[in-house]
Amino acid sequence: MNSPISTAARLSQWMPRLVLAPSFILAMFFIYGLIAWNGYLSLSASRLLPNYTFVGVEQYINLWESERWWVALKNLAIFGGLFLFFGMAIGLLLAILLDQKIRAEGVLRTVYLYPMALSFIVTGTAWKWILNPGLGIERVVQGLGFPDFTFDWLINPDRAIYTIVIAGVWQSAGFVMALFLAGLRGIDDSILKAAQIDGASLPRIYWRIIIPSLRPVFFSTLMVLSHLAIKSFDLVMALTAGGPGFATDLPATFMYTMAFSRGQIGLGAASATIMLATVAAIVVPYLYSELRSKR
Amino acid sequence: MSAPVPVTTTVSAAARPRASAQTGPVSAPKWHRFALWSVLFLFALFFLTPMYVMLTTSLKDMAQIREGNLLSLPTSPNFDAWAKAWSSACTGIDCGGLRPFFMNSVLMVIPAVLVSSAIGAVNGYVLSKWRFRGSELMFALMLFGMFMPLQVVLLPMSQVLGWMGIASSIWGLVLVHILAGLPSTTLFFRNYYVGLPDELIKAAMLDGAGFWRIFWRIVVPLSTPIIVVTLIWQFTNIWNDFLFGVVFSGGASKPVTVGLNNLANTSSAVKEYNVDMAAAMIAALPTLFVYIVAGKYFVRGLTAGAVKG
C-alpha cells in the first residue's frame, strides 16, 4: 500500500508544518522566552552583570522611587500627547486637502512622505543643527529684524522635550497622511454624491460623513503612532541624548542608560517590563479583535 | 524608524487614486483653490526646509556658516565637508570618517534583508494556502513580535549572542535583524497570498504538483510586487536601525547610524556643522534613493493593510 504517490501526499501534508516550525520555534524562544528571561532579570539582584539572586520586586520599588523614571514617564505623556495630536491633525488635514483633485498630488505626496524614509538619527542630527541656539533658527529670525529673538529650547530643560515633538511630527505626519489618504480613497462615492445632491456643503460632508467613516483608519493610525511614541529612542538619542541632564529621557532611553551604561541591569529590565505591559495593554486587544473579525 | 504595520488584509489597495472621485468641489470659487494651494505649498516648505538646510550646510565651509545663516546659499559650494565626513572625520577617538560604518551597514543589510524576506515568503505561503489546525494561532503568536517594545529582549539577547560567539559582530546584527524582521515579512506575504485565488493551487494539486513545485512554479512568479515591497521595507528598516546597532555592535561592527550619531555628538574644539550635515546626507542617501526610485512600493509597505477592506 505504500505507493510513492501516497508517501509524496503524506509528505505534502506534513510539509507546511515542517516549513513553519523553525520560524515558530524561533519566535517562541526569541519573543516569549526572552520576555520571560527579562522578567526574571527584573526580579534579580543584577547590576553590572547578570546576577540571578532572586530579590523579589525590589527593582520595581527602586524604579518607582526613581525621580528619573518619573521624568521619563512625564516626558512620554507630554511627547506622546502632542505627537499624537499634531501628527493626526496635520496628517488628516493634508490627506483631505490632497483629496481635492490636486494636479500635483503625486509630487506633493512624495514631498510630505520622504522624511519617513530617513533614519531618526538623520532627522535628529538635522534638527539639532536647525534648532541650534545661536547659529540656527535664532540667527535667521534675528536677521529678519528681531535682534532680541532667542530660541534656546534645545538646551532649556523645560523646553527641550518640545523639540523632540517638532522633529517627531515632521518625520511622521506624512505617514499619517498616507494612511488617511488610502482610507479616503476607499470611501464609496455614491454616498457622497447623494449628499452633494441633497445640497450638503463640502465641510459638512467631511465632518458628518467622511471623517466618521474613517473611524477604523483613525483607530489603526492611533495605534501605530502611540506605539511609535512609546518606542521612541533614536530621535531622542540623536537630538538631545536625553539631556540637558535627563530632562528629555523617555522610558526607552531610560532603559538603555540603566541597562547598558549605568550598570543597573535589574532596574533596566524592570523598566522594560513596564514598557511591555503598557504596549501589551494597547496591542493585545487590538490584535485579538483584528484576528477575530476576519473569521 | 520601524513603524509597525497594522494587521489586516491586502497590500494592494493602498494609495491608488479613486476611479471616479467626486469628493472634490465641483465648481469651487477661485479663492478656495488659492487657499488650498497655499496651505499645501506651505506644508511642502515645512517638509523640504530641513533637507535644504542639510544640503546647503554640507556644501559650505565653516567661515560661511559663521557669517551667513541657515537659509543662505553657499557662496562657493564644494564637497570638502563630504570628503571629510566620508574618510577623515572623528567619531569619538578614531578619525576614519563614516566609511567603515557605511561598509558595515552594507554588509549587514544585504544578508539580513534577503534571508528575512525569503523566510517570510515561505511562511506567508503556508499561512495562506496551506493552513492547518493551529496555524492561525501560531501566526498570532508570531505577530506579537512586531509590536512588543524591543527593549524587553535587549538584555537576554546580548547574552544569547555572547554564548553563540557572535556578540559585537556583524553576524550578530544580521541574526537579530532577521529575527526581528520575520513577523512583518511573514505578515506581508501572508496578506498578499490570501488574495491569490485558491483555485490556482487546487488546480495545480490535481495536476500532481506538490508543495514546493506550486510555490516555485505558480506562487513565486506572481509575487513580484510583494517581493519588491518587502525588500524595500526591510532595507529601509534595517539600514535605519539604531537601537540594535548601538546595543549589539562592537568596535569594528558599528552600522552607519551609530557612526553618524557618534560623529555628530563628538565634541571637538570647533564644531563642524557642515561635516555633520554631510555625514547625515551620506547616511540618508541609500534609503532616500530607494524612496525616490521606488516610492510607490515604499508607501505600499507603510500602508500595508492599515486600511480595512
Q: Shortest Cα distance from A24 to chain B (angstroms)?
A: 7
CATH number for the domain including A276?
1.10.3720.10
Q: Which residues contact A200 (CB under 8 A, 6 or more apart)?
A: A208, A209
In a domain, A47, yes or no: no
Q: Shortest Cα distance from B245 to chain A (angstroms)?
A: 11
What the block records as the C-alpha cell of B7 is 494587521
User: Is the dihedral angle over the CA atoms A152, A154, A159, A163 positive or is it negative?
Assistant: positive
Q: Which residues pair with B249 in a beta bridge?
A: B168
Q: What pLDDT does B153 receive?
A: 94
In a domain, A269, yes or no: yes
Q: Which residues of A touch B3 (CB under 8 A)?
A: 116, 175, 224, 228
Instruction: Decide if B147 and A287 are in contact by the 8 Å CB cutoff.
Output: yes
Instruction: Decide if A121 and B276 are in contact by the 8 Å CB cutoff.
Output: no
In a domain, A244, yes or no: yes
pLDDT of A179 > 70? The answer is yes
Q: Which residues of B touch A112 (CB under 8 A)?
A: 43-44, 47
Instruction: Decide if B307 and A130 are in contact by the 8 Å CB cutoff.
Output: no
Instruction: Decide if A129 and B141 are in contact by the 8 Å CB cutoff.
Output: no
**Under DSSP, is residue B262 helix (H, G, I), strand (E, B) or coil?**
helix
In a domain, A202, yes or no: yes
In a domain, A251, yes or no: yes
Q: Which residues pair with A44 in a beta bridge?
A: A54
Cβ of residue A162 closer than 8 Å to a chain B Cβ: no
In a domain, A5, yes or no: no
Q: Which residues contact A288 (CB under 8 A, 6 or more apart)?
A: none
In a domain, A56, yes or no: no
Q: Which residues contact A21 (CB under 8 A, 6 or more apart)?
A: none
At A99-157, the pLDDT tens digits run 888 888 889 999 999 999 999 999 999 999 999 888 888 888 888 888 888 888 888 88
Q: Evaluate whether A235 touches A252 at the Cβ level (below 8 Å).
A: no
Burial class (CB in 10 A: 0-12, 13-18, 19+), A107: exposed
For chain A, the domain total comes to 1
Q: Shortest Cα distance from B169 to chain A (angstroms)?
A: 17
Contact pairs from chain A to chain B, CB under 8 Å: 334
Domains, chain B, with CATH or none: 30-78 (no CATH), 99-303 (1.10.3720.10)
In a domain, A89, yes or no: yes
Count of C-beta atoms within a 10 Å radius of residue B24: 12
Per-residue pLDDT of chain B (309 residues; tens, 9 = 90+): 444 444 443 444 344 444 444 444 445 577 888 888 999 999 999 999 999 999 999 998 888 888 888 888 888 888 888 988 898 888 777 888 899 999 999 999 999 999 999 999 999 999 999 999 889 889 988 988 888 899 999 999 999 999 998 888 999 999 999 999 999 999 999 989 998 999 989 999 898 888 899 999 999 999 998 999 999 999 999 999 999 999 998 888 899 999 999 988 877 667 888 899 999 999 999 999 999 898 888 877 777 644 322
* Residue A222, domain extent: 67-293
